[in-house]
Amino acid sequence: MRKPRVWKLLTGLAVAGVLAVTLAGCGASPGGASGSQVSLLETGSTLLYPLFNLWVPAYTANHKNVQITTNGTGSGTGISEAENGSAQIGASDAYMDKTSLAVNPGMLNIPLAISAQQINYNVPGLNNVHLKLSGPVLARIYSRTTYWDDPAIARLNPGVKLPHKVIIPIHRADGSGDTFIFTQYLSDSTPSWKNGPGAGLNINWPAVPGGVAAQGNPGMVQNAQQTPYSIAYIGISWLDQTRQKGLGEAELQNRAGNFLLPTPATVQAAAGAMYKQTPADERISLVFAPGAQSYPIINYEYAIINRKQADAATATAVKDFLTWALSSSGGGAPSFLNQVHFQPLPAAIVRLSQDQINRIGS
């Protein structure tokens, strides 16, 4: 764990390490809790982490009695620490399953934005080429020793000179929402994967010789950059970093059979095909959406919240911060979302999320 950093001004917005935001002062602030200092802990998803590191300084600049500490620990930790009360906000790329909710019935799963996942690779000489990959091919790569010039890959990429080099699959070591949505894509597109490793925050990864386990999205980026002929699934909020490292970006096959990159248009197309199916509790997979132009790995980014907070001041602070995060004039503004390559929620989903936020109390 990196040492925390303390912020007192809206400068140098960090996207790595542990961020602690402290702004002195107390008293009433617009739309926020008033009176004594209120401290909140957000922890979890490393895909959401860069966005929280943009949000928190902007929010606390106008809510000087609220201190928010953020920590990128992985979605599994975010969910568990929200459940046990050690964190007020658990950030997760995955919603809680029925079993977890049965044990913790007071938990809320509140979408804040829409994200996507990219498939990156480090193939010397080909990182400037958008290789075409499919769910079944990725399932093969993550199941057993596979070469880059495997016939299944070659058929998807005619005319590309693929090297006869073993592919090094990189997966998350921590309980990860990125793993959740990646393995959902494999399960939805590949029956043998669905019946084998399956999908989840943690799965029993097949023992592929040379395979690498990495911690968080930062570890995925670093290991992919350092490992020739590797492949990795990485949250879209780390797109700038993967490009800085010179990693390749795959075009993924969607349900309609088309190969697409995760662009604003293809992510919005997938969200548009799925969001009307969102239930009142907002727990839904958006992976492998129908539609010719739907990118296949997108998801809601969730705040996992205990409906009953420790006291009224904490409940008010959590509600106000999340309401601000949803607002198109607050955290939902393009000035924030564009920096991490996220898309805003449809208006109907904003209303559902706000309905859930309004249920938070003490």
pLDDT in tens, 229-269: 999 999 999 999 999 999 999 999 999 999 999 999 999 99
> Looking at residue 36, what is its pLDDT?
82
Residue 11, pLDDT > 80, answer no
Whether residue 294 lies inside any domain: the answer is no
How many angstroms separate the Cα of 149 from the Cα of each of 54, 135, 165, 182?
Answer: 41, 17, 7, 23
Domain at 157, CATH number: 3.40.190.10
Q: Single out the residue of 75, 104, 86, 85 nearest to residue 301, CA to CA.
A: 75
Mean pLDDT of the chain: 91
Q: Could you tell me if 169 and 47 lie in one domain?
A: no
User: Does the predicted model carry a pTM greater than 0.75?
Assistant: yes
46 and 109 inside one domain: yes
- Is residue 90 assigned to a domain? yes
Cα(31)–Cα(110) distance, integer angstroms: 20
Residues 263 and 149 reside in one and the same domain: yes
Same domain? For 152 and 223 the reply is yes
Q: How confident is the model at residue 313 (pLDDT cuts 50, 70, 90)?
A: very high
120 and 107 within one domain: no
Structure tokens that stand for 344 in this block: 């805003």
User: How many separate domains does the chain show?
Assistant: 2
Cα–Cα distance list, 233 to 108, 177, 197, 283 (Å): 27, 11, 16, 22
DSSP E strand boundaries for the chain: 4-7, 18-21, 38-44, 66-72, 89-92, 107-122, 132-133, 168-172, 212-214, 230-235, 248-249, 251-253, 259-260, 298-306
Share of the chain above pLDDT 90, in %: 90
Q: Residue 29: which pLDDT band, with cuts at 50, 70 and 90? A: very low
- Same structural domain, 109 and 126: no
Q: What pLDDT score does 315 carry? A: 97
pLDDT at 307 over 90: yes
Quickly state the pLDDT bin for 198 (edges 50, 70, 90).
very high
Last residue of a domain, one of 277, 293, 316: 277
- Is the Cβ–Cβ distance between 135 and 250 less than 8 Å? no
Rounded distance between C-alpha atoms, residue 293 and residue 260, angstroms:
7
**Strand pairing class (132-133; 248-249):** unpaired
User: Is there a single domain that holds both residue 273 and residue 189?
Assistant: yes
80 and 40, same domain (yes or no): yes
Measure the CA dihedral 333/335/336/337, to 10°: 70
Q: In angstroms, rounded to a whole number, what is the distance separating the alpha carbons of residues 93 and 201?
A: 9
In a domain, 110, yes or no: yes
* Together in a domain, 9 and 32: yes
Identity of residue 30 = P
Length of the chain: 362
Higher pLDDT, 141 or 30: 141
Q: Are 89 and 42 in contact (CB under 8 A)?
A: yes
User: 337 exposed, middle or buried (CB, 10 Å; 0-12, 13-18, 19+)?
Assistant: buried
Please tell me the predicted confidence (pLDDT) of residue 22.
32
Tell whether 96 and 133 lie within a shared domain: no
| Position 1 pLDDT exceeds 80 | no
Residue 203: inside a domain: yes
List 259's β-bridge partners, or say none.
253
The encoded tokens of residue 130 equal: 């958008």
Q: What is the reported pLDDT for 28?
A: 33
What one-character DSSP code corresponds to residue 303? E
Per the structure, the complete domain to which residue 149 belongs is given by 116-277
Confidence of residue 228 (pLDDT cuts 50, 70, 90): very high
Whether 327 maps to a domain, the answer reads yes
Cβ–Cβ contacts within 10 Å for residue 186, how many? Answer: 28
pLDDT of residue 126: 98
Of 230, 245, 277, at which residue does a domain stop? 277
The pLDDT of residue 30: 36
Does residue 286 lie within any of the structural domains?
A: no
Q: Is the same domain home to 127 and 262?
A: yes
Tokens of 148: 């880059």
For residue 24, pLDDT beyond 80:
no
Tokens at residue 342, please? 């996220």
* Pairwise CA distance, residues 40 & 52, whole Å: 13
219 and 323 together in one domain: no
E strand or H helix that includes residue 217 = helix 216-226
**Pairing mode of beta strands 168-172, 230-235:** parallel
The reply to whether 70 falls in a domain is yes
Percentage above 70 pLDDT, the chain = 90
Q: For position 35, what pLDDT does the model report? A: 59
Domain annotation covers residue 290:
no
Asked if residues 354 and 326 have their Cβ atoms less than 8 Å apart, the reply is yes
Mean pLDDT over 145-155 rounds to 98
- Mean pLDDT, residues 316-323 taken together: 98
Angle at 298 between CA 98 and CA 127, to 5 degrees: 135
The domain boundary, picked from 215, 242, 277, lies at: 277
pLDDT of 34 over the 90 cut: no
